Amino acid sequence: MARKRFENFCCSTAQTLDQIGDWWSLLIVRDLFSGARSFTALADNLGVARNILTDRLKRLLEHGVIEKAPPRNEDERFAYRLTEKGRDLLPVMIALMQWGDKWVRGAGCEPLVVVDARDGKPVRPMRVRAWDDRELGLAEIRALPGPGADADAEGQAPLPAQA
């Protein structure tokens, strides 16, 4: 059988991956965060085949992550732009980027530092926080089914401490 789709997985993570988890979508989102707007700019930046880019843009449009906006200059016919849903991926992108900068940055690879535009200081590392702002580690959190959840779904084990 071919690739398995995650649409029917009863898990936010899986569903999310089904919308933005493929190889190119997240990089497209990243480029949109970085200011790319036109089809050609994206194609050139990413080095992706045009038909693949078309497909990914279509999916992102369908999922409401991006939208088409009027062009800003004569060089482009219109501009791709992140929707609110897309902009809401900012924490994900920053968390990924910070993890990458910390753990996987390889030889000759630029560490991209995300800074506060006001003072130029780097943004804080992303942390999981409780309501009293205390930082929470893996051992201090649990995953519970929210309201309306299926009690005996397969996600029973609530994030136990690993150590």
Near DNA in 43-62, by CB under 7 A: 48-52, 54, 57-58
**Which of its own copies, DNA, none lies near 40, with the C-beta cut-off 5 to 8 A by kind?**
DNA
80-139 positions binding its own copies, by CB under 8 A: 81-82, 85, 87-106, 108-131, 133, 136-139
**Which of its own copies, DNA, none lies near 135, with the C-beta cut-off 5 to 8 A by kind?**
none
Quickly count: other Cβ atoms within 10 Å of residue 139's Cβ. Answer: 11
Structural tokens at position 41: 């700019």
As a whole number of angstroms, the distance between CA 85 and CA 63 comes to 9
Q: Which residues, in sequence order, are CB contacts of 145 under 8 Å at separation 6+?
A: 151, 153, 155
Burial track 67-78 (b if 16+ CB lie within 10 A, e otherwise): beeeeeeeeeee
- Give the per-residue contact string, 137-156, with its own copies (x = CB under 8 A; - = no): xxxxxxxxxxxxxx--xxx-
Q: Under a CB-based contact definition with an 8 Å cutoff, are residues 17 and 52 in contact?
A: no
- Give the per-residue contact string, 41-80, with its own copies (x = CB under 8 A; - = no): ----x-xx--------------x-----------------
Among 13, 50, 68, 75, binds its own copies (CB under 8 A): 13
Q: Under a CB-based contact definition with an 8 Å cutoff, are residues 161 and 139 in contact?
A: yes
Least spacing, CB of residue 72 vs its own copies, in Å: 11
List alpha helices for 21-72, DSSP H: 25-33, 39-46, 50-62
Residues touching its own copies, count (CB under 8 A): 100
Which residues contact DNA by CB under 7 A? 1-4, 22-24, 38-41, 48-52, 54, 57-58, 71, 75-80
